[in-house]
């Protein structure tokens, strides 16, 4: 657990980046048509990254 402002800012940035990646993967999945599996895998990976970033953010603020 840390309250370092740099760690907190980095965790927020990671969370935002993961959220953007999830949205881009969802858009790719929606336009992929018959080949949805690779885009769905990207979306799942982005969702896991978002959860990891959210946990890092919680650790950074000491929750």
- Residue 46 C-beta-side C-alpha neighbours within 13 Å: 20
pLDDT band (50, 70, 90) for residue 2: low
**Integer Cα distance of 24 and 33 in angstroms:** 15
pLDDT digits (tens, 9 = 90+) for 24-53: 888 887 887 767 788 788 888 888 888 888
Residue length, the chain? Answer: 63
What is the reported pLDDT for 41? Answer: 84
What is the reported pLDDT for 34? Answer: 61
The C-alpha torsion from 38 through 27 and 34 to 39, rounded to 10°, is 0
Provide the whole-model pTM. 0.61
Q: What average pLDDT score do residues 16-28 get?
A: 83
């Amino acid at each position: 657990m840390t309250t370092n402002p740099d760690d907190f800012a980095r965790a927020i940035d990671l969370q935002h980046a993961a959220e953007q990646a999830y949205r881009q993967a969802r858009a790719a999945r929606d336009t992929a048509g018959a080949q949805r599996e690779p885009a769905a895998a990207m979306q799942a990976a982005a969702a896991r990254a978002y959860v990891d970033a959210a946990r890092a953010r919680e650790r950074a603020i000491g929750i």
